Each structure stands twice: as C-alpha cells, then as structure tokens.
Chain A
Amino acid sequence: MIGATALLELRRLRAGMMFWILLAFGQLIIAWLGFSQLEVFAEIAPQLKAAGSALGVIDLVIMPTFNSLVLVLLLSVPLLAMGSLAGETHSGRMALWLSSPVSGGQMVLGKILGLWLSSLPLVVSATLTLAAFGLGVDLDWPRFALATGCMLLFSLWLASLTLFISGLFDRPAAALAASYGVLVFMWLLDSFSSPGAPWHWFALLPHIEPSLQGLLRSQDLIFFTATTAAAALLGTYSLARRRGEV
C-alpha cells in the first residue's frame, strides 16, 4: 500500500500545474546559475592558475550551484507538500483515508515517498546539467557523487518534514506558511546561535555545507535520518490520534 499511495501522490502532483511550473523554473534557475558561474570561472581561470590556486570547477561552479539547488528545493517542496495531508482534510478526502483499512504509517510513508519522487526530477535534472560540465572539464567525481547524495537525502528530509507540517493543518495555505516559517527559522538558526548551543544542532546549513565541501560526517547523516524518521513517526501518530487508536 505504501507504493500505491506513493504512486497516487506522484500522479496527483504530476496532474497539477504546480509540479511542472516548479520543475521548469527550478531547472531554468539552476541552468542559468550554473552556466553564468562557469562563464565567470572561464574568465578567472588563467589568473587562478598563475596564482597556483587549487580551486577548480567543482569548487567555484558545481558546489555553489548545488548550494542554490538547496534553496530551490526549500522553496519548491513545501509548495508540493502543502496539499498532501492538509489538502486531503480540506477537500474531505481524508474521511475516506481514515475509514479505510490503510494504517496511518502506510499513508504517511506512501505520501513521503510520493513527495520525494515528485521532487526527484528537479534534483536529477539539475545534477545532470552540472554533470554535463564534466564533458568539457575535469571534475572531482567522488565529491560530485557525495553532493548528489546529500541533495537526495536533503529532499527526502524536506518531504518528510513538510508532510508532517501539512498534517497539522486543514488548509493547504496554512501548511505552506508554517513550512516556510519552520524552514526559514532552521536556515537562520545558524546565524542566530553559537556553534556550542544545543539548538544549533537544528541549524540546517551546518549539516549541508560539509558534504558540499567533500566531507561525509556521521553527525550530518544522523541529523537527516533522525529528523526524517521523527517527522514520519509524528505524522503517523497524529493520524492514529484522529482515529482514536492511541
């Protein structure tokens, strides 16, 4: 049932305009940023070489563009997720879900998977655009693969978190506003708090930047997997509560 729910979610999103608009704009922004950064790099490459700098395309073009992809995903996924649970409640379809033999866990996992699959075209198209640069210049492929893995994990995390937030509301617009609120807070938390503070662990950027610099850290993996699982569990719990199962 998880797979069927995921496919339904994917089909539902694909049938709407929002999915295609986000995909088109996201791809356009990534391609434009990637190529403009490549152009700048081509201009300064001789000076870098003369100065003996080790910085290459991967540092000055690929990783900054992946950084922009993070922002594009932060803006896009909440737009896709806002209707996932809040929309079901708002439209009255939640009644059929809750009266069905499908468990809350199956519904939540299916919806997360569906959302993640819906965000993948953006990640994949951006990654392929950047990988195409490898045809002309030497790329650090292990570092590229690490950044791609980070984007995949990050988009799964986003799907899980925004789906959980969507389940807290019965209006998609309210879910969207709350998602943006939480994500902006986590984005800015890095600037507000000192690295030693306990809540600094929830700051988003310190968990993304290391992998874009080629560092695979267990604490970042733990952050993403633990918060993804926690959001899925809390989403399941809220559905079970509605049914009176807990």
Chain B
Amino acid sequence: MKPLLLARQLSYGVASRPRLSNFDLQLQRGDRLGLLGVNGAGKSTLMQVLAGILAPSDGEVRILGQRLDQAGPTLRRHIGYLPQRVPIYPELTVRENMDWAGRLRGLKGQPLRTAAEGALQQVELGAFSRRLAGRLSAGMEQRLGLAQAIMHQPDILILDEPTAGLDPLQTEQVRDLLRNLSADTSVILATHLLDDVQQLCNRVILLDEGRKTAEHEVTPDIDLLQYFRQQAHSQAVGTTA
C-alpha cells in the first residue's frame, strides 16, 4: 500500500551544522507518531519540512506518492498544521480567524461555515466565536489553533507541541480531542511531554541533533522515561567511543 507520507533522506541546513540529517519516515493512515527530543533536537524543523513550509536541502517528502515540492500547492490540502506559535490574527474575532484558515484550505460557502462551527464546537470554543482572538487565554488560543488545523479534516495532522503552556485540565481537553479524531487521520506530534506520547501515539521517534536516534512502538507497558534515558545513554556512550 502506498504510504500516506513518505520522507526520504531529509536534510536541512548547512553541511557543517545541519538542523536535520538523512531523516527517513513512513506514515500510514491512522498512524499516531510522537517525536521526542530535547530543545534544538530538530523537531520543529522536521515538522516544518514535512508541512512544506521549509524546503529540504536534500531528500524529498511525498504525500500519497506525489512530491510535496513539485506537485503544486493543492497537495497541501491533505495537511493540517499547528505550529508552536498559534497562527492567529489578534485583531480579528475567533470566527474570522476560522474563516481565514478554512479559506486557506480551500473551503468556502456553506461547507466553510459548517466546518468552522463544527471545529469550534469540537474544541469547545463555540461560545467564543465573536471574541477577539487577541483576548483569548493561552489555552483557548491553542484550542483555536487546533480547530484551524482540523477544520478541513486533513489526512495528516502535524502538531508542534499542542499542549505547551496549557494547564492540566486544558491539556486533558486537547488530548481528548486528539483521541477522538477520525481513525483515518494520521498524526505527527512533537512534544516534550512523555505523557502525550504515551497516551496519544502508537509509535515514537527520538531525535537528537537532527538525526533519528531510535524508533519504537508505543505499548501500554513501555516505560518511555526509561527508554528515553537508555537511548540518551547509549548515544552518549557511542559518541564518547
């Protein structure tokens, strides 16, 4: 079966100091992939390359077999992306921000209205649709970003630290939302929180200095912290040796 997303030998940055190095990835429908790594490991760079925001200096990204940089902008309709900084216009209302995000994804007319209302209800912001986005709390802003990312029902959802800066209750709300996504939706989730990976993902990739250092299935009995430590230790030993 053709993979939903295929990344081959992805590199980004200058050769002397690459931000991403020879990264391979294959994502099937319904996969939930967690990306773990310390600050500066290359998670956000990888996400931006996969979302088509940054052009890789080497390698390729294919979505449904088509190259992302050559197939034209319409291929990006399959992607929903939530960057680390939520992309909103603070001077516009929540609803106007949703309309903008929907139009960017090719929605208009009644489908746009339905999708915007549905997504806002999903993230429990329906009651705030007339509020200026600049007056939302951090948690609400994050949920608005999520609503923008999911409103066009993308096949691939790329989320860069979606629970960063949220209180425990808001974190749980976001996790619930991600759990309830359609089974066909594939998710790539970059996070610092092992709990996010444990609860939401079925695979995890460890990144260090732009390289994939390990890949593992996430099972209920896996101790991610222990696994993370082991990998960091073996990496350190390998570097010293």
B73 and A102 contact, CB distance less than 8 A? yes
Interface string of A162-184 (1 = CB under 8 A from B): 00000000000000000000000
Q: A49 interface residue, CB < 8 Å from B?
A: no
| Residue from A1, A12, A100 within 8 A of B76 (CB atoms) | A100
CB closest residue in chain B, given A8: B100
Q: What is the distance, in angstroms, from A189's C-beta to the closest C-beta of chain B?
A: 36
B-contacting residues, A195-246, CB 8 Å = 241-245
Q: Are B100 and A16 in contact (CB under 8 A)?
A: no
Segment among B77-85, B123-131, B187-195, B229-237 that sits at the interface with chain A? B77-85
- With A16-B91, A93-B89, A244-B54 in contact, is A1–B103 under 8 Å at CB? yes
User: Is A97 on the interface with B (CB-CB < 8 A)?
Assistant: yes
Task: Please measure, in the bound complex, the distance between the C-alpha atom of A1 and the C-alpha atom of B85, giving whole angstroms.
Answer: 24
Of the candidates A11, A97, A100, A245, the one whose C-beta lies within 8 Å of that of B96 is: A11
How far, in angstroms, from A92 to B81 measured CA to CA in the complex?
Answer: 12
A-binding segment of B14-22, B45-53, B218-226: B45-53
Which residues in A have their C-beta under 8 angstroms from that of B55? 241-245
B86 within 8 A of A: yes
Instruction: Please indicate the chain B residues that have their CB under 8 angstroms from the CB of A245 in the complex.
Output: 55, 69-70
A243 to B67, CA, bound (A): 12
Contact residues of A between 77 and 102, Cβ < 8 Å to B? 91-102
Count of chain A residues with a beta carbon within 8 Å of a chain B beta carbon:
25
The reply to whether the CB of A148 lies closer than 8 angstroms to some CB of chain B is: no
Query: How many Å from the CB of A237 to the closest CB on chain B?
Result: 13
- CB pair A243–B53 under 8 Å, yes or no, is yes
Given contacts A15-B91, A93-B87, contact A99 B100 (CB under 8 A): no
A104 CB to closest chain B CB (Å) equals: 8
Known contacts A101-B74, A103-B73, A242-B55; is A96 also within 8 Å of B106 by CB?
A: no
Q: Say yes or no: is A4 at the interface (Cβ < 8 Å to chain B).
A: yes
Please count how many residues in chain B sit with their CB below 8 Å of the partner chain's CB atoms: 36
Given A102-B73, A242-B54, residue A95 in contact with residue B83 (CB < 8 A)? yes
Give Cα A102 to B53, complex, Å.
Answer: 12
Cβ of B92 and Cβ of A95 under 8 Å apart?
A: no
Q: Are A92 and B103 in contact (CB under 8 A)?
A: no
Cβ of B85 and Cβ of A97 under 8 Å apart?
A: no
Report the minimal beta-carbon distance from B133 to chain A, rounded to whole angstroms.
11
* Inter-chain contact A243/B85, CB cutoff 8 Å: no
**Docked pose: A244 CA to B49 CA in angstroms:** 10
As a 0/1 sequence over residues 182 to 204 of chain B, the CB contacts with chain A under 8 angstroms (1 = contact) are 00000000000000000000000
Interface residues of A, Cβ cutoff 8 Å to B:
1, 4, 8, 11-12, 15-16, 91-103, 241-245
Q: List 29 A-B contacts (CB under 8 A).
A: A4-B103, A12-B91, A12-B92, A15-B91, A92-B83, A92-B86, A93-B87, A95-B53, A95-B83, A95-B87, A96-B101, A97-B104, A98-B53, A99-B51, A99-B52, A99-B53, A99-B158, A100-B73, A101-B76, A101-B104, A101-B105, A102-B73, A102-B104, A241-B55, A242-B54, A243-B52, A244-B54, A244-B55, A245-B69
Taking A12-B91, A96-B87 as given, write out 15 further A-B residue pairs in contact, using a Cβ cutoff of 8 Å, ordered by the A residue number: A8-B100, A8-B103, A11-B96, A15-B92, A93-B88, A95-B48, A95-B83, A99-B52, A99-B76, A101-B73, A242-B54, A243-B53, A244-B69, A245-B69, A245-B70
